[in-house]
Structure 1
Amino acid sequence: MSRRALLACALALSLTTGCVAGTTTSSAPQTASAGRPFEGEVEFWTINLKKNYSDYITGLIAEYQRQHPKVKVNWVDVPGAESATKLLAAVASGDVPDAVNVNSVELGRFTPSLEPLDAYFDQAALADFQPNLVEPLRFDGKLYAVPWYNGGAPVAMYRRSVVEKAGFDEKTPPAGFDEALALADKVYQETGVHGMNSIPDVNVLRYYGIEPLSADRRTAAFNTPEAVTVLEKFKKSYDGKGIAPGAISKDIRSLPQSLDNGQVAFKPMANAAELLNTQKNAPDVYDDLVVTEPVKMSTGGYLLLAQQAFSIPKASTNKKAAAEFIKFFTNGVNQLAFCKIVPIYPSTISSTKDPFFTEAAGGDAMATARQVIVKGLPQLQYQPLGTDKDAELGEYFLEEVRAFLQGGQSAQEALDAAEEKWNQALAA
């Protein structure tokens, strides 16, 4: 669940699925600052979009150039695995793009080479962006990026025909992981179907208010009595088969028991992009799903680990034109158009007011999910681990949790071992 949600989020953010035939007249691009003459050549970088979304991007560029005939936009699309490397090389050479798509996880390492955007994006220019998505892009009080799209707030998915036998009420779904564990156990007792695939990774601990790292990000901070209690709660459910036995598999893309194969009853937190896979691979399950708000953090919000954003390198020689193009490219109308052709979610408030997000025709699960997601966007809390070893640390933690769930060690031993691995990795 949490692991799978993160995977789905990564897939949505990298935009490796789906295709697009082009934009429509109902979603025609609009400029954010019509009538102002800008001049220059803007080199514009995106990440992994050309294969499936070329029509959308080229359509926006063509419209902007029509409105600003003295501006030439050169689009460069960079493979996702190479985006950070290529930007580092460009910065080192001094031959930089003018407007560059940056994954927020990578932003911190580039800020010394980026132009603060405050002089180009005043309060009016930022007014339509979700404040909780803008503020994390500031460092030392300066804005270094403008938000674009994200994987959205999570949703919860329940197989109605199964969970109702355990007394599930979709109007009051589990509000936290403790309630989700209780429901999982009851589902198995009443139906013989495993409740869920959730195991306590480091982000589940964060939902309980347990911080994974020290404030300076140099040492592990999760080894607490509270964390021991959390792990033991999940072990009890795992032993009782409320959590499916295959949840400990390292192959998180193909867990032995899943929602799609009918051996799991619900996901208390997932990325909505997973719904598309269920719709394609298990249409009977999809038709049986009820989508609700997911479990929440102890703060009442939802954890956001990454978002896509735009920055301007310091070495750019055409910052003004680049900033104006970014304003256009990320405005509410253009973000909405993008959301209609790929399962991503906007950083602009106006986009979420469209019927595409506010109406759920016929109770369709994906349409309902969009409503849940836009309601949750203001509660997203962007809190990555913030190290250059986030994936490595996460796997170290899971290795010890898997051993614990299988009875190979106690909860305290698992946390001790994970802490040691984290501190060694962070010190390297």
Structure 2
Amino acid sequence: MRARRLTGSVAAIVVLSLTAAGCGLGGSDGGEATAGGCKVDEGNVGSGKLTGDVKGDITFQTTNVKKDFGDYFNGVIKAFEKANPDTKIKWIDDPGDATFTQRLVADAQGCTLPDVVNINVNTAIALTKNGYLLNLDEKAPDAGKPFTDAMWKSTTYADAEGNKVHSVLPWYSGGILQTFNTELMEKAGLDPAKPATTVLGLFADAEKVAKASDGDYYAFLANPQHHIPAHWQQMGIEVLSSDGKKFTFADDPKTVQWVEAMTSLYKAGGMPRDSLSSTQDPANVYGQGKLVYGPTNPNFLRFIQQNNPTVYEKTGVAPYMLDALGHTVGAPQYVGVASTSKNASTALAFAQFLTNAQNQLEWAKDPNVVIFPSTTESLKDPFFQKVEGTDPFSEARKIVADDRQTSTADEIALTPGELNAIVAQIQLAMQGKKSAQDALDEAQSKANELIEQGS
């Protein structure tokens, strides 16, 4: 699995806390155990399988799903409580905004982390590093059985000693594929039946769009944040050192090639001039019929179908450009169990119930959501194996479902600070104010400063 680590402002918060509270997992002569500085039941930490009765109260936290999927989650909770009459689950739903990780880290430092919590990659990094999540390899050695081998093997994070451990259960994720306006492709002299299969091949096609469009339409938006680090990883660029302690992307000539391709396309008019630093949503611009290439998330197709049906009818889909990284699941979501839980056995049982094949499949079948499960049995269901229809969304679901059994979680998740530091320098190169190499060197230096601030 590609290295991930805690950086930026989140790291600073954690480091300050650990200086005062102690780090990682441990015990004392009096038999008390600690996790991230919090006193916990001895059975929650160290070696040995978690034991204990499934009973008592726990808190379960999701991220921004209550409004649209309240009935589903209430049903899961009710079913678990019925099967385990001595349990009670309190459900809370976090809005999942930009300060999500910081808030959860603060909860963990205050020894009030929810017993079962829905988290993303960056949050999993922070909580695992500081001992706030159960080590499932020790506490539930069979926890990985329901999940696809590729997903389970690639879902590990470093603990306080730097050891890679399983600290979360894989849950749902989106998918990654190409979407494009077939009519505009044909206008540019491209064959929609033969989309690009490599990242640099995509840029070659985009140059043809620039030459043919004369500003009436574009290949895609110019802001590099839409493509980093996905393009780099597919090109086989080592974004981070193997230990995850420093960025190394500027040392690879392929990164220079990528920046030069972005710069050339921008100068040729293949991207809107005003989109270089804009935060506008590519989905909206694509829906206006102004972009050849749309977002890579299948859920985007539902948006276009509902809001721009004419453009939807012209939309084609194809597998993502798979140079080196291969198939990845796309924005994975996880479920972690707090090592600080007073009812860890109940929390673990509920986390496993929530992520089992039956419950994952039930949610994936909801027509109001476009998600893919992480369990082998869910993916064997006809819902994924016998997708009917030739419309863009049906085709997209076929593509993602076909690769899902072997898709991994091997995606680097940059913090907002890291991404901004890198993008700012590449924007200067695209404007002709710096060479590609100088921009990358400066981007790498600034991004590494953020790592050092959290080291």
TM-score range, shorter chain: 0.7 to 0.9
**Hey, what's the Cα distance between the residues in 2 that align with 1:93 and 1:168?**
57
**Aligned residues: CA RMSD:** 2.8
Aligned partner of 2:395 among 360, 363, 368 = 368
Deviations 1:68-122 (A, max 9, x none): 2222222222332364344434433434433222222211221212221235544
In structure 2, the partner of 1:424 is 449
**Hey, what's the Cα distance between the residues in 2 that align with 1:353 and 1:168?**
36
How far apart are residue 53 of structure 1 and its match?
1.8
**Hey, what's the Cα distance between the residues in 1 that align with 2:105 and 2:427?**
37
In structure 2, the partner of 1:194 is 218
Q: Give me the identity figure in percent.
A: 28
In structure 2, the partner of 1:401 is 426
| Amino acid in the other structure paired with 2:165 | K
**Hey, what's the Cα distance between the residues in 1 that align with 2:136 and 2:292?**
47
**Hey, what's the Cα distance between the residues in 1 that align with 2:105 and 2:418?**
24
Asked if 2 retains the 8 angstrom alpha-carbon contact of 1:130 and 1:349, the reply is yes
**Hey, what's the Cα distance between the residues in 1 that align with 2:322 and 2:110?**
45
Aligned partner of 1:177 among 167, 189, 199 = 199
CA 1:354–1:89 in structure 2 vs 1: closer, same or farther (change >3 Å)?
Answer: same
**Hey, what's the Cα distance between the residues in 2 that align with 1:210 and 1:57?**
40
Asked if 1 retains the 8 angstrom alpha-carbon contact of 2:196 and 2:321, the reply is yes
1:316 is the counterpart of 2:341? yes
Deviations 1:12-47 (A, max 9, x none): xxxxxxxxxxxxxxxxxxxxxxxxx84332322222
Asked if 2 retains the 8 angstrom alpha-carbon contact of 1:244 and 1:264, the reply is no
1:342 is the counterpart of 2:369? yes
Asked if 2 retains the 8 angstrom alpha-carbon contact of 1:198 and 1:243, the reply is yes
**Hey, what's the Cα distance between the residues in 2 that align with 1:233 and 1:191?**
18
CA 1:402–1:52 in structure 2 vs 1: closer, same or farther (change >3 Å)?
Answer: same
1:287 is the counterpart of 2:310? no
How far apart are residue 231 of structure 1 and its match?
1.5
1:50 is the counterpart of 2:63? no
Deviations 1:276-302 (A, max 9, x none): 222233211101111111112423334
- Please give the residue correspondences for 1:248-397 in structure 2 after superposition, counting only pairs within 5 Å: 248-253=276-281, 258-267=285-294, 270-302=296-328, 304=330, 306-339=331-364, 340=366, 341-377=368-404, 378-385=406-413, 390-397=415-422
1:415 is the counterpart of 2:447? no
TM-score by length of structure 1 reads 0.80
How far apart are residue 246 of structure 1 and its match?
4.1
CA 1:247–1:357 in structure 2 vs 1: closer, same or farther (change >3 Å)?
Answer: farther
Which residues of structure 1 form unaligned runs of 5+?
A: 1-36
| Amino acid in the other structure paired with 1:221 | T
Which residues of structure 2 form unaligned runs of 5+?
A: 1-52
In structure 2, the partner of 1:31 is none
**Hey, what's the Cα distance between the residues in 2 that align with 1:158 and 1:360?**
21
1:104 is the counterpart of 2:121? yes
Deviations 1:304-331 (A, max 9, x none): 4x42212222222222222221221111
What SS does structure 2 have at the residue aligned with 1:250?
coil
How far apart are residue 183 of structure 1 and its match?
1.6
TM-score by length of structure 2 reads 0.76
Asked if 2 retains the 8 angstrom alpha-carbon contact of 1:312 and 1:322, the reply is yes
Q: How many residues align?
A: 385
In structure 2, the partner of 1:232 is 260
How far apart are residue 379 of structure 1 and its match?
2.7
